[in-house]
Amino acid sequence: MIDFPGLDLEKNLWQAGHQFIAGVDEAGRGAWAGSIVAGAVILPRDEDLQHKLAGVRDSKKMTPRQREFWVEKIKQYALSWSVGIVSAQEIDTIGILPANRLSMIRAIQLLDPPPSFFLFDFIHWKDCPFPGERLIKGESKSLSIAAASVIAKTFRDSLMRQLDEFYPGYEFSRHKGYGTLIHRNAIKKLGLSEIHRKSFNISPISNPV
């Protein structure tokens, strides 16, 4: 059974006076190569919205074709959407969890209008400067978070397809930088590229992340 997210959380917040609510999620945290990308989305207060975005759910549970179709619908209906990018070099400098937070900050700063409340897919973030909730499996509970996950995933996948042209042999377009057998074999043959996350202590014989 497919678990589609709802708008119950958003409706309660709208009724409480929050006009603009942002869903926030990331893609690429566990990858061995490439940036981490956060998506942020403000959905409108629309009684028909759940019907208009009926196929949107946790991006990991969607096929590439489904994501590419529904991301255009999200962009069409959203009041605002944005992405925040943190490079592999920045990840190596500050660590993956701070990089995750930074990607979200960068995405949030690009939203217009500025939200008054945020719904995050769960992230450890003590003293988070943004008022809101961090929800375990948030993509299954909030349509705003699910939409953000689709924005982040499709944007990052596109980046990795582009990087495949600049770093031939790694087949980034196939595995998107994650630790698959294809990727490990490529590292064994070619070594690490400049977009690999050196702080992850990558080994071609390691188990996939």
Q: Render pLDDT for 22-50 as a digit per residue (tens, 0 to 9).
A: 999 999 999 999 999 999 999 999 989 99
Does 200 fall in a domain? no
Cβ atoms of residues 37 and 83 within 8 Å:
yes
Q: Global pTM?
A: 0.94
- Using DSSP's 3-state secondary structure scheme, residue 203 falls into coil
Does 75 fall in a domain? yes
Does 173 fall in a domain? no
Considering the chain, what percentage of its residues have pLDDT values greater than 70? Answer: 97
Does 172 fall in a domain? no
Please name the amino acid found at residue 167.
Y
The pLDDT assigned to 76 comes to 98
Give the separation between CA 32 and CA 137, rounded to whole angstroms: 23
Does 53 fall in a domain? yes
192: confidence class by pLDDT, cuts 50, 70, 90: very high
Q: Give the residue carrying structure tokens 């499709």.
A: 154
The pLDDT assigned to 209 comes to 41
pLDDT tens string 177-191: 999 999 999 999 999
Does 163 fall in a domain? no
Task: Assess whether pLDDT exceeds 70 at residue 136.
Answer: yes
What CA–CA distances, in Å, run from 184 to 169, 170, 177?
A: 11, 9, 10
Q: Of 199, 204, 205, 168, which is closest to residue 88 (Cα–Cα)?
A: 199
Stretch 152-173: mean pLDDT, rounded? 97
Does 101 fall in a domain? yes
Task: Assess whether pLDDT exceeds 80 at residue 208.
Answer: no
Considering the chain, what percentage of its residues have pLDDT values greater than 90? Answer: 93
Listed in sequence order, the residues at least 6 apart from 121 whose beta carbon sits closer than 8 Å to its beta carbon are 24, 25, 26, 134, 135, 137, 138, 139, 145, 148, 149
Structural domains counted in the chain: 1
Does 68 fall in a domain? yes
Q: Residue 39's domain spans which residues?
A: 8-155
CATH number, residue 107: 3.30.420.10
Task: Assess whether pLDDT exceeds 90 at residue 163.
Answer: yes
Give the separation between CA 47 and CA 67, rounded to whole angstroms: 23
Task: Assess whether pLDDT exceeds 70 at residue 71.
Answer: yes
Q: Of 123, 97, 119, which is closest to residue 108 (Cα–Cα)?
A: 119
